[in-house]
Amino acid sequence: MSSHPHFLWKDLFQTDTHDKNLSSILQNTALFKTLTPRELSYLSSIVYERIYQPHETVFQQNDRGIGMYIVAQGRVAVKSQSPSGDILITILGQGSFFGEIALVDPENLRSATVESIERSTLIGFFKPDLLAIMQSKPEMSVKILLQLSTILGRRLMETTDKLSELASKVRESA
């Protein structure tokens, strides 16, 4: 993924080199780092590559979502809607991923809004494909789900730490 595709339909006519690039991007993502090259090659054949223009919305908070995105190129802003306006939570760059809760949440409601800051290439991995992997390649799905639960667990711990920090700050100020 050395340069942005310029032609409107470039993503329709991909070559082997492109697939190798895609595999290497997927391998560098925490969720898929335990997969074998063969499994990565299979995964790169089922994920979707989407190109977003600057300020184009990837998804809105409370939208029904069905999968996660990996930032292959560019940057995206994660925002949360509040009565006082949008709050910028973070900015994600190349190699980061978001929306992974939709892979396991049965109600699939997005918890934040994501918008591309610049022209970005995102790789989408969706729940129906994860379910298909669980059926046809159970070993591969176990690896993905284990990584997914580790990531979700770690994010929960980080959130708990942040909350404790905030709570102690509030107590101190009171």
Q: Which residues bind to other proteins, rule: CB under 8 A?
A: 8-9, 11-12, 45-46, 48-50, 52-53, 56-59, 62-67, 107, 109, 124, 126, 128, 135-138
Least separation in angstroms between residue 91's CB and other proteins is 20
What torsion, rounded to 10 degrees, do the Cα atoms 157, 158, 159, 162 define?
120
Categorise residue 142: left if φ over 0, alpha if ψ from -120 to 50, beta otherwise: alpha
Nearer to other proteins, 109 or 157 (CB): 109
Nearer to other proteins, 32 or 59 (CB): 59
Matching residue, tokens 């069905």: 66
DSSP for 8-56 reads: TTGGGS--HHHHHHHHHHHHTSGGGTTS-HHHHHHHHHHSEEEEE-TT-
Least separation in angstroms between residue 128's CB and other proteins is 4
Least separation in angstroms between residue 67's CB and other proteins is 7
Nearer to other proteins, 57 or 149 (CB): 57
Least separation in angstroms between residue 88's CB and other proteins is 21
- CA 72, CA 7: separation in Å to the nearest integer? 17
Residue 4: exposed, middle, or buried by beta-carbon count in 10 A (0-12, 13-18, 19+)?
A: middle
Nearer to other proteins, 30 or 124 (CB): 124
In the chain, the largest separation of any two C-alpha atoms, in whole Å, equals: 62
Nearer to other proteins, 20 or 50 (CB): 50
Beta carbons of 172 and 164 less than 8 angstroms apart = no
Least separation in angstroms between residue 11's CB and other proteins is 6
Q: Is beta strand 76-82 parallel, antiparallel or unpaired with respect to 48-52?
A: unpaired
